Amino acid sequence: SDPPPFDITVLERNRVIGGLWNYTDTAPCRYNVPQSTPSDIPAATDRRCPQTNSFPTPMYEHLHTNLPKDVMQFPGTPFPSDADEFPTHTQVRDYLDAYARAHVFPHKFNLQLDTEVTRIEYHPRPQAHWTCAVRNVATNTTSVLEFDAVLVCTGRVNYPLIPEIPGLRALAQTPRDCTLMHAKEYRRAQTFAGQTVLVVGAASSGTDIARQLSFVAKRVHIASADASPEAAAARDPRMTPVVGAACNPQNPLVTHLRVTRFAPDRVWFADGSHIPLPDAIVFATGYMCAFPFIDEVASLDGTHSVRFTADSQGVYDLFELLVYAFNPLLAVLGVPDKVVPFPLYEYQAAYLAHVYQGHITLPPVAEMAEQARAAVAGPDAFTMKYQQAAYMDRLIDRVGAHQSRLGHVPDHWTERWKQTVQLRKQHLGY
């Protein structure tokens, strides 16, 4: 058979594959409160969970996916028929294991587990290459590896985003009887039995955590990101979970608008209402795009360097939200938000494979940079939602006849995705 077109090395910080779908029973996370920009991220990394010796992920004990399995799956690789319609995190982890055994491990590549990337740099001369400084987290030894190209596949959900709200920094720095935590640390409702809890954030994780808490907590408050009732009413119901659905009818959620201020003894909301400082505040406020191992990136010809820019929303200067415009030998996968991840990754990977094999000719750097700027010029620029199918179709159109397995996304896939809230209600009750 023909030799593989690439010599591939995969670097993974954990000691198992599966990324964020690896559940850990505890979550020894390290982050600051607030933490709203990459500069807020502490230098120290998360600690391993002692039970599994794995790094903590956002998985909690009774989590189900927020997408139906036929929407979520890799193209052409369905979930097992006995998996839940909205699979548990264990079922997703098993699915990824089976996918890797069938479609990844049969190919020749070098997998290095327990390997944390600490810095990458591009060197245009004397022979162009990337250096990748790594640390073996098991032995704490360091080394430097060399590559022709680098694909960053660490995802969007590593670094908690906790917004800068007036009074929060002072509250976090003052001894208090109120636990402040991000949803990444949440594992089970029983931890908060008998407590009054405020959940900040009313998207998928926030509403699900609040629902679970309603059965054991004394009282559960939940605050959305909306500044007014009109803003709340304007949300797309296809993308908005129903706050309070399937909660404990004897302990319904107390809903609020956006948190506007923290005081030493209470929390204020956008309509002027307030509550006493609760026993715990869970920030289900999402994650930021951050890549502390990348600073500046040299251009292909070495004439200048460009600062690699990422913030709480996404990564900038990416042609097709994927290829770094100023040095196309760097790509960052999975940057768009509000997407179905597995199909997105597969289409992006197919596109990149053909770029690096020379089947696709990229535009000049200036043209790619201009397209990258224009793509993220508006509000919610990195939020893709139902435009994902058109985006994946565009990528596969560029691949053309060189790619036979992936085709255009069928129309029913997006229509099925739009039914998610209704389907969750039908299958899970919320």
Question: For each of the chain's 430 residues, which pLDDT tens digit applies?
Answer: 456 689 999 999 999 999 999 999 999 999 999 999 999 999 888 999 888 888 999 999 999 999 999 999 999 999 999 999 999 999 999 999 999 999 999 998 999 999 999 999 999 988 999 999 999 999 999 999 999 999 999 999 999 999 999 999 999 999 889 999 999 999 999 999 999 999 999 999 999 999 999 999 999 999 999 988 888 888 888 878 889 999 999 999 999 999 999 999 999 999 999 999 999 999 999 999 999 999 999 999 889 999 999 988 999 999 999 999 999 999 999 999 999 999 999 999 999 999 999 999 999 999 999 999 999 998 889 999 999 999 999 999 999 866 668 999 999 999 999 999 999 999 999 9
Angle of the 388-399 helix axis to the 411-418 helix axis, nearest 10: 160
pLDDT at 162: 98
CB 137 within 8 A of CB 116: yes
Q: How far apart are CA 56 and CA 237, in angstroms?
A: 32
CB 352 within 8 A of CB 150: no
Distances (CA, A) of 156 to 2, 159, 219: 36, 8, 32
pLDDT at 9: 97
Q: How far apart are CA 349 and CA 53, in angstroms?
A: 30
Q: Tell me whether strands 196-200 and 219-223 are parallel, antiparallel or unpaired.
A: parallel
pTM of the model: 0.95
Cβ neighbourhood burial of 401 (10 Å; 0-12, 13-18, 19+): exposed
Q: How far apart are CA 111 and CA 113, in angstroms?
A: 6
Backbone angles phi, psi at 232, to 5 degrees: -65, -40
Backbone angles phi, psi at 199, to 5 degrees: -100, 120
| Residues with Cβ within 8 Å of residue 272, at least 6 apart in sequence | none
Vertex 286, ends 216 and 60: CA angle to 5°?
A: 40
pLDDT at 403: 67
Angle of the 341-356 helix axis to the 388-399 helix axis, nearest 10: 20
pLDDT at 1: 41
CB 253 within 8 A of CB 196: no
Residue count of the chain, please give it: 430
Identify the three-state secondary structure at position 353: helix
